[in-house]
Structure 1
Amino acid sequence: MRILVVGAGAIGGYFGARLLKAGRDVTFLVRAKRAAQLAATGLIVKSPLGDIDAPRPPLIEAEALREPFDLIILSCKAYDLDGAIKSFAPAVGPNTLILPLLNGMRHLDALDQRFGAGAVLGGLCAISTALDDQGRILHFSDFANLAYGARESAQAEKAEALDKVLLNAGFDARRSGKIAQEMWEKWTFIASAGLTCLMRAAVGDIEAANGADLAVALYNECAEIATGAGFAPREPARKFAGGMLTTPGSEFVASMLRDIERGAPIEADHIVGDLLRRQGAKAEPGSVLRIAYVHLKAYEARRARETGAKAERSGA
């Protein structure tokens, strides 16, 4: 099975490197700058689960795509989705499967519209990674999980066929019979973790400030939206979220907070805004979810203003 990994960043690069080491037929779709970097240094992963050094990873740029691949693994940020779709579209044939690992659900609408729902599986991952200044992939956790599954019954056989390439590839992979449910449960949790962005603090700091009730309120609000969509979080998911969001002394923060702290783009609309949109007229003006969203949008507005001002000064 020919696999195209879109990008060789912190997530796609990690799973792609594991697949490559396991002997799978993997090619990385990269931009010119990343291609030059990888050609010079190779694809390097530093991980507690074992390092990887692939001196010459198979690379391709969008302009060179001519033939379809069997599987496309997509793990870009939501704000890069349109560009990613345009770049890998030539690699999608009548039998190609697309496995997106983005958070939330809105990306499925864009992929379905462009390629048809039958080509797009459900997927999610749990991993903590980042790129360093040298382009190496740093894996911080002792886990790397990937789940995939059919979103409709007609995809079941195709999803099962992925077992041969995704299982036993150096990370914890599993095929889920309820992938949409799991995606909603993860979405509900990470949107609730947006409280750390609002407070600019870790869970333990918020708890120390007697703010655990706000974390619970935000999670319950998100869970209510999921329930209204037909995906009420199950008890294990609720228990996990409750522990992660209220544990005294916890240093857990949303990855979006790390993006904010380094002045990077964020997925405000995809993760928090889309939940709020689905809540519709039921959203209260003072809801914690709405306040968290306004905070994120205010950050985006300020970032855009300061970036624009910097560009004007440079132009002058």
Structure 2
Amino acid sequence: MKILIVGAGATGGAFGARLVDAGRDVTFLVRAKRAEVLAEYGLILDAPDGRKVHTVRTITTVEPGDIYDLVVLGLKAPALESALKTIRAAIGPNTVILPLLNGMGHFTTIEQLYPGRTIGGLAKIVATLGPGGVIHQMTPLAALTVGPMRGRPLNQDLIETLTVEGFTLSVDQNVLSRLWEKWVFIAAAGIVTCLFRGTIGNILAAGGRNQILQSIEETENVASKAGHTVSPESHRDTLALLTEEGSKFTSSLYRDLAQGDPVEAEHILGGLSAKAQAMDVSVPLLEATLLQLRTHRVARASNGQKPATDHQ
């Protein structure tokens, strides 16, 4: 299969590197500055199983007729709108689109432009894009779950293409519920780490266990009301990760906030808040966190600072 990965940041770059390792036909669609870095230094993945430099093919625009079998959206929500316009020439009659964004709102956006092309997908990986464009995978966890959306079945060629060493692939017929589970987890993690500005270990040490439990309860209640009750296994995993004494874990939202701008706040927390309001679910911690992050963005704007975007 001919694969186009949009974005070569922490998620798209890490999974793309594993596909390149396996000899898959991969091209990265990136911005000009990222393309220059990749051309000069390669795609560097620093993972628990070793550090490796990959020579990769990059493009900054899609030429007419350059159609791909699989388009993986490995970027953050603010860059989605422009990316969907850029990939138009890459989409053929049989192209499959696999979004790996956080939250859920992007599915509606993609479906409006490219009806019937999207499958469900979620990535589980703790990674950051560091200085020099190096991708740091901080734990061995690297898992990809895919599944059909709106009745579109997955073909075997796609499954075989995505089955490579370096990350675990799962095919889930109920991928929509798995997407909800990830959404409520990253929202709960974002609430506590952004509201209290610290790692899970420090929040617990300061006496924040009850607030952590409340954030989990709030977000899971929204999922339940929406018809996607979080499984006992997913709840246990969330509880274990967000109540581990001494943990250095922080959310991607908090890491973005620490760098100046929580770029996915509206997509992750704003989207969940809108769902809660529509279903009359009480989420006071979620609302407090969202207000704080919106206030932060207003303050940045009043100081003449432009909103951050996805630089992958």
- TM-score interval for Structure 1 and Structure 2 normalised by the shorter chain: over 0.9
TM-score, with length taken from structure 1: 0.91
2:177 aligns with one of 163, 178, 181: 181
- Please tell me whether Structure 1 or Structure 2 has the larger radius of gyration of its CA atoms: 1
Q: Secondary structure at the match of 2:132?
A: coil
> How do 1:220-235 residues align onto structure 2 when only pairs under 5 Å count?
220-235=217-232
Deviation at 1:51, TM superposition (A): 2.7
Q: Percent identity?
A: 39
Cα pair 1:17 1:52 within 8 Å, conserved: no
Partners of 1:147 and 1:157 in 2: how far apart? Answer: 12
In the alignment, what sits opposite 1:77?
A: 76
Cα pair 2:201 2:244 within 8 Å, conserved: yes
In the alignment, what sits opposite 1:38?
A: 38
TM-score, with length taken from structure 2: 0.92
Partners of 1:230 and 1:136 in 2: how far apart? Answer: 40
In the alignment, what sits opposite 2:309?
A: none
- Any gaps of 5 or more consecutive residues in structure 2? 307-312
Q: Which has the higher strand share?
A: 2
Deviation at 1:170, TM superposition (A): 2.8
Please say which of residues 179-188 and 211-220 is displaced more in the overlay.
211-220
Cα pair 2:187 2:219 within 8 Å, conserved: yes
Partners of 1:157 and 1:208 in 2: how far apart? Answer: 46
2:244 aligns with one of 244, 247, 268: 247
Partners of 2:63 and 2:132 in 1: how far apart? Answer: 26
- Any gaps of 5 or more consecutive residues in structure 1? 310-316
Measured on the aligned residues, the alpha-carbon RMSD in Å equals 1.7
Task: Tell me: CA distance 1:61–1:75, structure 2 relative to 1, closer, same or farther (3 Å).
Answer: same
Partners of 2:165 and 2:89 in 1: how far apart? Answer: 27
Deviation at 1:23, TM superposition (A): 0.6
Partners of 2:125 and 2:204 in 1: how far apart? Answer: 24
Deviation string 1:77-133 (CA, Å, 9 cap, x unpaired) is 1111111111112101110000011111001010011101x2101111111222222
Partners of 1:89 and 1:190 in 2: how far apart? Answer: 30
> How do 1:248-267 residues align onto structure 2 when only pairs under 5 Å count?
248-267=245-264
Cα pair 2:62 2:89 within 8 Å, conserved: no
* Alignment pair present for 1:17 and 2:14: no
Partners of 2:62 and 2:304 in 1: how far apart? Answer: 30
* Alignment pair present for 1:209 and 2:206: yes
Q: In structure 2, what residue type is equivalent to 1:113?
A: Q
Deviation at 1:152, TM superposition (A): 3.0
Deviation at 1:276, TM superposition (A): 0.8
Cα pair 2:3 2:27 within 8 Å, conserved: yes
Deviation string 1:27-61 (CA, Å, 9 cap, x unpaired) is 11122211122111122212112332223x11112
Q: In structure 1, what residue type is equivalent to 2:161?
A: V
In the alignment, what sits opposite 1:131?
A: 129
In the alignment, what sits opposite 2:91?
A: 92
Q: In structure 2, what residue type is equivalent to 1:192?
A: A
Q: Which has the higher helix share?
A: 1
Deviation string 1:254-299 (CA, Å, 9 cap, x unpaired) is 1111111111342111111111101115254x71111111111112
